[in-house]
Each structure stands twice: as structure tokens, then as C-alpha cells.
Amino acid sequence: MKNPTIIFVESNTTGTGMHAFQLAREEGLNCILLTRKIELYTCIPEYIKIIEVDTNNYKTVEETVQKLVDSDQVEGIMTTSEFYIPIVSRLCERFKFPSNTLEFVNICRNKIRTRKILTELRLPQPRYTVISKDEDLKEALHPFDFPVIVKPYNESGSNGVKLCSNLVEAINHCSSLLNITHNSRGFELERKVLVEEFIGGEEYSVETFFDKSIEVIGVTKKFVIGEPYFVEKSHIYPAAIKEDVKNEIIGTVKHCLNHIGYTFGPAHVEVKIRNNKCYIIEINPRLAGGMIPELIKQSEGVDTLRNYLYATIGKEKRLEKKHESFSQITFITADSDGVLKDIHFSKEVESMDYFGYKNKNSNVRIPENAGDRVGFIITNKTKYLDVLEDIEKINNGTTLVIK
């Protein structure tokens, strides 16, 4: 008897993308990857069947999936690429596979719609405005005090997000974003940008999973660097946080997710805490990036990626925590632009056992988004203060040779 099949519509080219293929294989599933650019996948496993199709064209993808559903025992459709979540949701609705609704996904992906929903819910959020291609930028920005955040309405990985300290910077960055016609995966962009009041304060993300109801897996502490850009430098999971603040975060996030129709799989909500109030920065209908799923797995034994796969194929989830500890990831970043010639680690850092970094002779630059990070180091300890100490050791004990 032929094994059942799972269809992937594109994938992350590293990290969770490649790991998802492996997990599907372990579950006895045949894997089919639909992609418009096979050259993006340089490390694709041999057991993946690849079908080249214009994945940016829904009708073409639907026709391809229809043929697969007619000929194979297809169990589900998924993606680990944020840009293709809307297409996957639409396909799942069409072929009756488990998924969030397209409406929910579109609210999350479109930052402008997210802001409007939060306004309706009267939840704390930054003051904001939407600027389109034909508007007078100076007039549109006039009501704001500086600094402000200027961001594209549907990118990912902090692409295009910039802190602008004055009117000239804001006008220039708005103009730059409004002139971008397509995103990194080739989708045509609506020519709009979002301008937001800058909210200071502690940064966290809430990792959730829907299993009959919203399950809060945990809260992650986030450390960012690189103003005027915002690049995540370190994460600690779970965050050490006062109970009342934690309850405020979880209550706010669950209220919002319930209201906008969250009913399937993982979600990742980024928030800031200012004056003990929880400000929702963005909602993502997907697993967390930045290796946070690995931190959760190491800290508590909950495999959120495997559970996403289980949810996709209608298998019972396993969300119970098996143990308790703290994990951190610190990203290696460049302090100058150039070519990476070598990386030197102190003995303490060298003894840490979970590494990943770019090959020598790779081009690197001072980070402006997540893709600019050179590598990462993960550690797991029983005490929160110990992982904080590891972050300091990594930052002080890692030297890049860039020429």
C-alpha cells in the first residue's frame, strides 16, 4: 500500500523548512514540494518529490494540487514560508484539509488590518497611520512626534522596518518602501507603508498552539540591536517575568486571537510592555522564527514543529511539557561590511555544543534584518541567570574576521 502524502507549498530554505521534511519522513509520509524556483533549495533531501509550478499563482497551484489529490492519498497541505500561508489556507479550504481560515491569515499578514482590529478591540497599541503612493508624505507625517517606526505592511524578518528620528528620515524611508514593487518571494506589493508611534519597553513574544482551544506554550524574552533597524540578537525561553505582567500579556493575546478567528496550529505574537500595559506589535499565523521552536523543545520537550505537522494531517497533538529548564539563542552578527574570513571563539564559547553559522567567504554586513545574522549559538541551563551569563560569554567571546 502506498504511503500517504503531504504537500508543501514552498518552504523556508533552512531551519524549520528542512527539519519539517525530515519529520514528515519520520511519520511515514511521502513529501511533495511545490516551488517556482528550485534553485532556492540547495540542500533538499533526495526523498522529496519536487514539482516546479508558479506558486505565486493560486489557480495554477490549485490545478496542480487537484491532480495530486486525485492520484495520491494526500493527508494535508502546509508551508514553513510565511509568504505562502495565505495560499495554503485557501487550498486547505478548497480541499477540506485542516487550516486557519484565509480571513484570519489575511488579518495577521496585513499589518494595516491588524491595527484596525486592535483599534476595534480597544487594546493598547501604537498610534499609527497608513500612507499610500500618491499621498503628500510631509502632510501625512505631520501629526507624529519623533521617533517613529516606518514599516512595509506585509514583509517578514524585520525587512524594511526602520526607526526614523526626524521628518526627513521618515520621508526618505517611506519613499524607498513605496517604490518597492515586489517582495523577496516575487509577490506584487500594494504600495502602502505603515507609520507607527515608537513604543519603548521590554519585548516579548507569545508562542501559542490551537488544540480545541488556545494553548499558550510560553512567553519568550527578546533582545534586539541595531537601531535604526530592529534585529533580534538573543532570545530566552521561557521568559522570567512577574506573574501580573505575564497574565496581562497572555490575557491580551488570547483575547485578540479569539476575536480574529484563530482555530488552527501555531501562532507567534510579538508584544511590548510599557507601564505594565501589553502592546501588540504584530500577529503571525505561524511558528516563531529565530530558532524559538528549538528553544521550546530543549527547555520543555514540546516539539511545536512536529505538532504543526500533526495538526496538518489531523493527528493528535502532544503539547504536554516533559521537563523545565531555560534555553537561550544568541545570534552572531557582523560589526562591519565585507567578506567573512574566519570566526574565533573563546574556550568557554567553543565548549558550547549547538552552533550554526555561515560559510567562510560569505558576504556579511552590519545587520538590518534577520537574514543578515551570521550564525547562532544555543545553550540550555536549569537556571535563568546561567543562560543570561551564557549570552554575555558569547557576545564577549566571539570575534569575526571580516575583510
- Is 325-403 CATH 3.30.470.20? yes
The predicted-structure confidence for 324-368, as pLDDT tens digits, reads as follows 999 999 999 999 999 999 999 999 999 998 888 888 999 999 999
Residue that the C-alpha cell 573563546 belongs to? 346
Q: Evaluate whether 251 touches 178 at the Cβ level (below 8 Å).
A: no
Q: Is the pLDDT of residue 377 over 60?
A: yes
Please give the order of strands across the beta sheet that includes 192-197: 128-132, 192-197, 148-152, 162-164
- Cell triple for residue 12? 523556508
Flag whether pLDDT at 111 surpasses 90.
no
Whole-number Å distance between alpha carbons of 103 and 50: 29
Give the model's pLDDT for residue 3: 86
Question: Has domain 5-99 been given CATH number 3.40.50.20?
Answer: yes
Beta bridge partners of 152: 193
Higher pLDDT, 1 or 174: 174
Q: Where are the domains of the chain?
A: 5-99, 127-197, 203-322, 325-403
Under the banding of pLDDT at 50, 70 and 90, the label for residue 267 is very high
pLDDT band at 13 (very low <50, low <70, confident <90, very high): confident
- Asked if residue 293 has a cis previous peptide bond (ω within 30° of 0), the answer is no
Q: Sorting pLDDT into bands at 50, 70 and 90, what band is 154?
A: low
Architecture of domain 127-197: 2-Layer Sandwich (3.30)
pLDDT digits (tens, 9 = 90+) for 59-92: 999 999 999 999 989 999 999 998 999 999 999 9
Given a contact cutoff of 8 angstroms between Cβ atoms, the answer to whether 47 and 71 are in contact is: no
Query: What pLDDT score does 153 carry?
Result: 72
With beta carbons less than 8 A apart as the criterion, state whether 272 and 279 touch.
yes
Residue 201 sits at φ, ψ, to 5 deg, of 125, 180
Q: Report residue 157's pLDDT band, with 50, 70 and 90 as the boundaries.
A: low
Whole-prediction pTM:
0.92
| Contact criterion met (CB below 8 Å) for 5 and 68 | yes
Kindly indicate the confidence band of residue 369, based on its pLDDT and cuts at 50, 70 and 90.
Answer: confident
Beta bridge partners of 204: 221, 271
pLDDT (mean) for 122-145: 88
Alpha carbon 38 to chain centroid distance? Answer: 22
Residue 14 above 60 pLDDT?
Answer: yes
pLDDT, average across residues 99-114? 92
Domain 203-322: CATH class, spelled out: alpha beta
Domains 203-322 and 325-403 share a fold: yes
Q: Nine-digit cell at 238?
A: 521561557
What is the SS3 assignment for the chain? Answer: CCCCEEEEECCCCCCHHHHHHHHHHHCCCEEEEEECCHHHCCCCCCCEEEEECCCCCHHHHHHHHHHHHHHCCEEEEECCCHHHHHHHHHHHHHHCCCCCCHHHHHHHHCHHHHHHHHHHCCCCCCCEEEEECCCCHHHHHCCCCCCEEEEECCCCCCCCCEEECCHHHHHHHHHHHHCCCECCCCCECCCEEEEEECCCCEEEEEEEEEECEEEEEEEEEEEEECCCCCEEEEEEECCCCCHHHHHHHHHHHHHHHHHHCCCCEEEEEEEEEECCEEEEEEEECCCCCCCHHHHHHHHHCCCHHHHHHHHHHCCCCCCCCCCCCEEEEEEECCCCCEEEEEEEECHHHHCCCEEEECCCCCEECCCCCHHHCCEEEEEEECCHHHHHHHHHHHHHCEEEEEC
Give me the percent of the chain exceeding a pLDDT of 90: 75
pLDDT in the model for residue 149:
94
The pLDDT score that the predictor gives to residue 156 is: 63
